[in-house]
Structure 1
Amino acid sequence: MSPAPVGPAAGPTGQPPAGVAPPPVGPAPRRRLPLVLAAVLVLVLVAVGLVVVRPGPVERWLGDAPATPTASGAVEPAPVPVLAAADSGAPPPSTDGLRSALEPLIDDDALGGRVNVAVADALTGEMLFDRGGREGTVPASVTKLLTAVTVLTARGPGHRIPTRAVAGKQPGEVVLVGGGDPTLAADAKGFYPGAASLTELAEQVRAALGGVTPTRVVVDSSRYPGPVYGPGWDDDIPTGGYGGAITALMLDGARKSPKAGRGWAERVAEPDLVAGRAFAELLGVPVDTVRKGTAPASTATTGATDPVGGAGPGAELGVVYSPPLIRLVDIMISESDNIVAEALARQVALARDRPASFDGAAAAMAEVVSELGLPTGALDLADGSGLSRKNLISPVLLTELLALAASPDRPELAGIFGGLPVAGWSGTLRDRYGAAPGTAAGAGVVRAKTGTLTRVHAIAGVVTTTEGRLLTFAVLTDDVPPDGMEPARAALDRIAAALAGCGCR
């Protein structure tokens, strides 16, 4: 079965526009656990959940949305807070108390034969409960938490991914160079809000050519060396609507139609060629002339004379940029967008001078996790989305990673909380907590990333106990009966709800 609904690569010359923070340089410092961890996380949660009581895309943080809604005549009811406040002075649960509360729930037959769990105190970093917590377990989409933290570390929240058009080698030839932006759209009606558009890029090209009409479009998607499908992906992933071909150039996350809803969507088989044909149409070039190729070296390097409108081979004719990575991380986590996840994983590879492939991204992500001082003993990665059954992550790694993201030592990582679904309220937890017996205590209190593949079910996030203590937790199981998705999800939710509903001392 395919996973739950949906989860870039700039070249060496791809720099963000003025005002965008450059990516960090050099290896990240080793992790140190701050004493004020919980207090900082409370501030993060206030920013994304209590002040903005309706969690959503972080574009509102960045000033793109109006400060006040447009008057419509309708009066909205007063908003209701959906995240409980944490208290750094609240007593932590005891290991014995957690064992008494959790072990009967972990032994639920609905969770299958292998359930690994870790619960930690966010303030002190102390591991409060560990049952198989250091064992590598197939994580499904919970992998995206690692993707988020590693890309924000390697690139920085403000990095933008370029898509360029350059002059080709032959007269009249324009090369469309994919940098890895998965949100690129043909026009302003694309799937992802705020995405760069080929319409704007085409306008830049026409201006650069000074009225000279191009005669052919070449598509350069060589930034990703392939393969386009991941190792360990189920056979139905390429055509099942939750994954697709991962290429350095695509429109709307490789969707066949930008009007497709969230979650399942039909994907095109060759996203780069589809994008090239859309670009050719915008330039008035016959779409049947579009072919794959590579951009020539710049004129400054070759000294060649120009074949197109006064610009030499390789000369830039236009460039558009993706939204900042912090927005892409928000999209990836809140909607579990697998295509965006694989693009972000390749950004980690590029930042670490590795090939922008599945293998290169996995190696680069593991390298960054190690640099951050997180436990890697059970870590084995094959992709950035969690579609691969070859991925192995331990619950302990996830709990420590979540605590690190709230640390004042790494403020750039706090962005992962902006899209983290809230139980019974948003994202992949929108329809969970409340209906199943024993889960209501987690509604509005649990904030977590979920993961689902056939036989694999996972949840990892943060929760505030009834006494106000902030905890990080992860529950992973990869041996659930194939027809047991709904019972397994309810069993996972009861574990998280138990943390929310007890003092456990």
Structure 2
Amino acid sequence: MSEIPEAKPRTGPLSGLLRRARQRPRLFGTTAAAAALIVLGGGGLVAGAAVGTPSSTDAARVATVPIASTSATATPTPTPTPTSRPVPAAALPAQPVRTCSIAEAASDSRLGTFSGSVRNATTGEVLYDHGGGTYSRTASVMKVLTSAAALAVLGPDHRVSTTVVAGTEPGQVVLIGGGDITLASGSSNVYPGAASMPDLAAQVTASLGGAPVTSIVLDSSAFSGDAWQPSWNRKELFDGWSSEVTALQVDGDRANPSSSQSTRSEDPIGRAGSAFASALGASGATISQGVAPGGTATLGQVQSAPVSTMVQDALLRSDNTEAEMLARLTAITQGSGNSFSALGASTPAALASYGLDTSGLVIVDGSGLSDDNGVSPNFLTALFAKIAAREGNLGIIADGLPVAGESGTLAGRFTGSNSDAAGQVIAKTGWIDTGYTLSGIISAADGSTLTFAFFALDDVSDNSKQALDTVTAAAYRCGNNLSNQ
């Protein structure tokens, strides 16, 4: 069995130190404590030196020793991301609170399919819009567009000539129509300031020195294409509201020259030729249609009233033939053409010169007889705002419009409960089988100036006119307090 070796007595510095500690315990305890502080402090200095200047060996050793995690390590608190505060938009200007409504008047069943627009003529603000952007037939309100276009292109002082030149044969004369449908067959007719056929015949007789006229050629080539717009109802001719559109005619082709409504013929050019032969005293002369030769002598010429007069007459009496003449002459002067088909480009182009957006317009005639025209109430109120401001020559239109309860096609309207607006509304009326319209300028009860356009379409009748007067009178009372409700 193994034996346990005997322990040998300890020797060396440590054994001596222990022996002295047993002999003097109190002194040793104090000394030991001081020594411990020295050792710990020195160790800290050594450790600090080791950390500050590690050798390559130490660095490698440290790199291989994992760092123990400790639960005492605090988790960093995340820095909150500040929430962006909304930046307030620029303050909107104060808006008036409008409380007056025309909704009840506009809901009248007599208005059929109703649309309308009312605008403050001074500020341009649309106060009321009920389908105001819808493009629809306008009836005779179209004459306002035609008149504004004519004033822009022809100018207010333009006059239309009817001329007679010598023919290519002895005793032959050529009557050239320049488009003046107002030419009177006698000394006067319904048109103010009209030129007369007797005056023209007297000039020709004087130029010929008394030589007889044996042949009359009628030149109406200034206008071309259809004489009757294909979409028009032919009964308008026989009922006496419009003539065919030809460059040569007399009295607007009326059977009764002094009546606004009078049966028209189906040969306005031939009727003009007969009137000329009668004025010349050449009842036996042959009459034919043709084109004037170039270079022959002028034997006579007469001129119409100025465009300013014709515009106002067409608006006041709502003369369809006069309006068609103005529209056609505008197109010719623009270079757009001399037929109905030219109007689709010429009228919008002329109106655009006033700074209006004409992109949505559909124009097929100058009078408004067609259901195929397309104009919006908003466009009309914008145009009438320029008329109210008398821009360019548009003051001529303002001065020629019918006055509610007083003149033209409004003379017998705005009566009874609507009479408070009589004299305060100037407007153009419109009527065709499928619609009634009214558009113009209101001098409102509160002193503001409004422009308006109201359309009553589809299932309508003659009493739609009174309903239009009622909604217009309601707008007159509201003035700038009109609410879009």
TM-score of the superposed pair, with normalisation by structure 1: 0.74
Write the distance in 2 (CA, Å) between the matches of 1:118 and 1:199.
48
Q: Deviations over 1:119-169 (max 9, x none)?
A: 111112222221211110110000000011000000000100000000112
Task: Give secondary structure in 2 for the equivalent of 1:320.
Answer: strand
- 2:406 is aligned to 425
Task: Give secondary structure in 2 for the equivalent of 1:439.
Answer: helix
- 1:495 is aligned to 471
Q: Deviations over 1:159-195 (max 9, x none)?
A: 0000000011222110000001111012313332321
Task: Give secondary structure in 2 for the equivalent of 1:291.
Answer: strand
Structure 1 contact 165–175 (Cα < 8 Å) conserved: yes
Q: 2:300 aligned with 1:318, yes or no?
A: yes
Write the distance in 1 (CA, Å) between the matches of 2:96 and 2:405.
27
Amino acid at match of 1:468: G
Deviation of residue 278 (structure 1)?
A: 1.3
Deviation of residue 324 (structure 1)?
A: 0.5
Write the distance in 2 (CA, Å) between the matches of 1:196 and 1:291.
23
- 1:371 is aligned to 353
Structure 1 contact 134–378 (Cα < 8 Å) conserved: no
- 2:424 is aligned to 445
Write the distance in 1 (CA, Å) between the matches of 2:437 and 2:449.
20
Gaps of 5+ in 1: 1-92, 299-313
Deviation of residue 231 (structure 1)?
A: 3.0
Q: How does 1:151-190 map to 2 (within 5 A)?
A: 151-190=150-189
Deviation of residue 464 (structure 1)?
A: 1.4
Q: How does 1:10-25 map to 2 (within 5 A)?
A: none
Q: Deviations over 1:230-276 (max 9, x none)?
A: 132123122221012111111111101213x23x2111211111111
Q: Deviations over 1:314-352 (max 9, x none)?
A: 321111000001110011000000010100101111111
Q: Deviations over 1:385-430 (max 9, x none)?
A: 01111111111111111111233541x1210122211111111111
Q: 2:236 aligned with 1:226, yes or no?
A: no
Write the distance in 1 (CA, Å) between the matches of 2:345 and 2:242.
21
Q: 2:336 aligned with 1:354, yes or no?
A: yes
Q: 2:199 aligned with 1:200, yes or no?
A: yes
Structure 2 contact 150–330 (Cα < 8 Å) conserved: yes
Q: 2:278 aligned with 1:296, yes or no?
A: no
Q: How does 1:92-107 map to 2 (within 5 A)?
A: 96-97=98-99, 100-107=100-107
1:434 to 410, 415, 433: 415
RMSD: 1.7
Structure 2 contact 365–373 (Cα < 8 Å) conserved: yes
Deviation of residue 434 (structure 1)?
A: 1.1
Alpha-carbon spacing, 1:396–1:276, altered in 2? closer, same or farther (3 Å) = same
Identity across matched positions, percent: 40
Structure 1 contact 277–287 (Cα < 8 Å) conserved: no
Deviation of residue 288 (structure 1)?
A: 5.8
Amino acid at match of 2:447: G
Q: How does 1:21-170 map to 2 (within 5 A)?
A: 96-97=98-99, 100-112=100-112, 114-170=113-169
Amino acid at match of 1:274: R
Amino acid at match of 1:257: N
Write the distance in 2 (CA, Å) between the matches of 1:183 and 1:287.
26
- 1:485 is aligned to 462
Alpha-carbon spacing, 1:204–1:251, altered in 2? closer, same or farther (3 Å) = same
Task: Give secondary structure in 1 for the equivalent of 2:164.
Answer: strand
Q: Deviations over 1:32-68 (max 9, x none)?
A: xxxxxxxxxxxxxxxxxxxxxxxxxxxxxxxxxxxxx
Write the distance in 1 (CA, Å) between the matches of 2:251 and 2:234.
23
Deviation of residue 450 (structure 1)?
A: 0.7
Alpha-carbon spacing, 1:408–1:497, altered in 2? closer, same or farther (3 Å) = closer
Alpha-carbon spacing, 1:478–1:377, altered in 2? closer, same or farther (3 Å) = farther
Write the distance in 1 (CA, Å) between the matches of 2:413 and 2:109.
20
Write the distance in 2 (CA, Å) between the matches of 1:243 and 1:226.
17
Give the paired residue count: 387
Write the distance in 2 (CA, Å) between the matches of 1:235 and 1:186.
24
Task: Give secondary structure in 1 for the equivalent of 2:237.
Answer: coil
Write the distance in 1 (CA, Å) between the matches of 2:378 and 2:96.
17
- Which range moved further: 185-194 or 422-431? 185-194
- 2:71 is aligned to none
- 1:283 is aligned to 280
Structure 2 contact 217–287 (Cα < 8 Å) conserved: yes
Task: Give secondary structure in 1 for the equivalent of 2:271.
Answer: helix
Alpha-carbon spacing, 1:345–1:503, altered in 2? closer, same or farther (3 Å) = closer
- 1:51 is aligned to none
1:416 to 375, 397, 402: 397
Amino acid at match of 1:283: L
Task: Give secondary structure in 1 for the equivalent of 2:182.
Answer: coil
Write the distance in 2 (CA, Å) between the matches of 1:342 and 1:94.
44
Structure 1 contact 441–498 (Cα < 8 Å) conserved: no
Task: Give secondary structure in 2 for the equivalent of 1:193.
Answer: coil
Task: Give secondary structure in 1 for the equivalent of 2:238.
Answer: coil
Structure 1 contact 160–325 (Cα < 8 Å) conserved: yes
Write the distance in 1 (CA, Å) between the matches of 2:97 and 2:401.
27
Q: Deviations over 1:180-229 (max 9, x none)?
A: 11110123133323210111111111222223222111110111113111
Structure 1 contact 95–128 (Cα < 8 Å) conserved: no
- 2:59 is aligned to none
Structure 1 contact 380–390 (Cα < 8 Å) conserved: yes
Task: Give secondary structure in 2 for the equivalent of 1:398.
Answer: helix
| Greater RCO (Cα-Cα under 8 Å, separation 6 or more) | 1
Highest CA radius of gyration, 1 or 2? 2
Structure 2 contact 162–180 (Cα < 8 Å) conserved: yes
Structure 2 contact 187–197 (Cα < 8 Å) conserved: no
Amino acid at match of 1:501: R
Structure 1 contact 182–340 (Cα < 8 Å) conserved: yes
Alpha-carbon spacing, 1:364–1:503, altered in 2? closer, same or farther (3 Å) = closer
Alpha-carbon spacing, 1:165–1:405, altered in 2? closer, same or farther (3 Å) = same
Write the distance in 1 (CA, Å) between the matches of 2:344 and 2:251.
24
- 1:49 is aligned to none
